[in-house]
C-alpha cells in the first residue's frame, strides 16, 4: 500500500469514528408518557376515616359528611365521571356506601359534604342507590352513608373509585334503570361499557370502632 493510500484509509477511518460518535451522542428528545388518571382526598390523607365522615346512625355517631375528592389527568374524550364507594370487608362480601353518576367532564372534584344533599352535586350528576336505600341513614336516597363497621371488627377497607366514560347518560348507555343498584352500575362500568370506559382510579381508606 502506498503512503498516499494508507493516509486516505486512516483519514476515512477517523471520519467514520467521528461520525459514529456524533450519532451515538445524539438522542431524540424523550417523549413523556401522559400523566395517569388519579384520585385523591385531602380528607382521607391519613388513610382512615375520622369521626366527621363516619355514619351517624346504626350505632355510629359520626358526622356523616362525604369526604372531599379531587381528580386529575382525566383521559382524553371523557364525557362523564362516576364515583362509587364499597366496604371491601363487609360480612356479605361487599357493601355499597356511596354512588354518584354522570358528573360533568368539567368537574375536577367534589367538596366536603357535596353528596349530603342532591342540590350540591353539579348538573347533570345524581346520587345513585346504595345498600342504605330506604333506611334514612344517608338523609336521602342517593346520598353518602359513611362507614360503620361492626364493633370489634378489624379495620374495614373502603375503596372509592372514580370512572371516566364516553357516554352522556350512564343508565341509558348500560341499558339499566336509573334506580339500579350500585352493584348493577358497577357491572356496567367495569364490563358493560366496553371501550367507552376510558379509565378509572381508586383510593382506599380504613375505618373501625
Kindly state whether residue 10 falls inside one of the protein's structural domains: no
Whole-structure pTM value: 0.84
Q: Decide: helix, strand or coil at residue 133.
A: coil
Contacts from 113-117 at CB under 8 Å and sequence distance 24+? 113/65, 113/66, 114/66, 114/68, 115/66, 115/143, 115/144, 116/64, 116/65, 116/66, 116/143, 116/144, 117/143
How many whole angstroms separate alpha carbon 33 and alpha carbon 166? 22
Q: Where are the alpha helices (DSSP H) in the chain?
A: 3-25, 170-174, 182-187
Kindly state whether residue 4 falls inside one of the protein's structural domains: no
pLDDT in tens, 39-76: 999 999 999 999 999 999 999 999 999 999 999 999 99
Kindly state whether residue 169 falls inside one of the protein's structural domains: yes
- 82 near 100, Cβ under 8 Å? yes
- Predicted local confidence at residue 140, as pLDDT: 74
128 half-sphere exposure, CB direction, 13 A CA radius? 27
The residue segments making up the domain with residue 50 are: 38-207
- 40 near 69, Cβ under 8 Å? yes
How many whole angstroms separate alpha carbon 74 and alpha carbon 186? 19
Mean pLDDT, all residues of the chain: 88
Kindly state whether residue 73 falls inside one of the protein's structural domains: yes
Helix, strand counts (H, E) of the chain: 3, 8
pLDDT in tens, 144-162: 999 999 999 999 999 999 9
- For 138-167, b/e burial (b = at least 16 CB within 10 A) is bbebbbbbbbbbeeeeebbbbebbbbbbbb
Kindly state whether residue 151 falls inside one of the protein's structural domains: yes
CATH number for 61:
3.90.280.10
Angle ∠(42,199,165) on CA atoms, nearest 5? 105
Domain count, the chain: 1
Q: Which three cell numbers stand for residue 30?
A: 424523550
Q: Which residues pair with 197 in a beta bridge?
A: 165
Kindly state whether residue 94 falls inside one of the protein's structural domains: yes
**How does residue 116 score in pLDDT terms, banded at 50, 70 and 90?**
very high
**How does residue 23 score in pLDDT terms, banded at 50, 70 and 90?**
very low
Kindly state whether residue 8 falls inside one of the protein's structural domains: no
Kindly state whether residue 123 falls inside one of the protein's structural domains: yes
Amino acid at each position: 500500500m502506498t503512503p498516499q493510500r494508507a493516509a486516505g484509509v486512516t483519514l476515512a477511518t477517523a471520519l467514520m469514528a467521528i461520525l459514529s460518535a456524533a450519532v451515538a451522542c445524539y438522542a431524540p428528545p424523550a417523549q413523556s408518557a401522559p400523566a395517569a388518571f388519579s384520585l385523591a382526598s385531602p380528607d382521607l390523607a391519613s388513610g382512615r376515616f375520622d369521626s366527621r365522615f363516619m355514619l351517624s346512625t346504626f350505632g355510629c355517631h359520626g358526622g356523616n359528611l362525604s369526604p372531599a375528592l379531587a381528580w386529575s389527568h382525566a383521559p382524553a374524550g371523557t364525557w362523564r365521571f362516576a364515583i362509587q364507594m364499597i366496604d371491601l370487608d363487609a360480612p356479605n362480601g361487599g357493601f355499597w356506601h356511596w354512588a354518584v353518576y354522570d358528573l360533568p367532564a368539567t368537574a375536577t372534584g367534589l367538596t366536603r359534604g357535596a353528596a349530603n344533599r342532591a342540590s350540591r352535586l353539579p348538573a347533570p350528576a345524581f346520587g345513585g342507590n346504595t345498600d342504605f336505600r330506604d333506611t334514612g341513614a344517608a338523609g336521602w336516597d342517593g346520598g353518602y352513608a359513611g362507614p360503620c363497621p361492626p364493633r370489634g371488627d378489624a379495620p374495614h377497607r373502603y375503596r372509592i373509585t372514580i370512572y371516566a366514560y364516553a357516554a352522556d347518560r350512564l343508565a341509558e348507555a348500560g341499558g339499566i334503570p336509573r334506580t339500579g343498584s350500585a352493584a348493577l352500575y358497577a357491572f356496567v362500568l367495569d364490563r358493560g361499557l366496553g371501550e367507552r370506559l376510558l379509565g378509572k382510579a381508586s383510593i382506599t381508606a380504613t375505618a373501625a370502632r
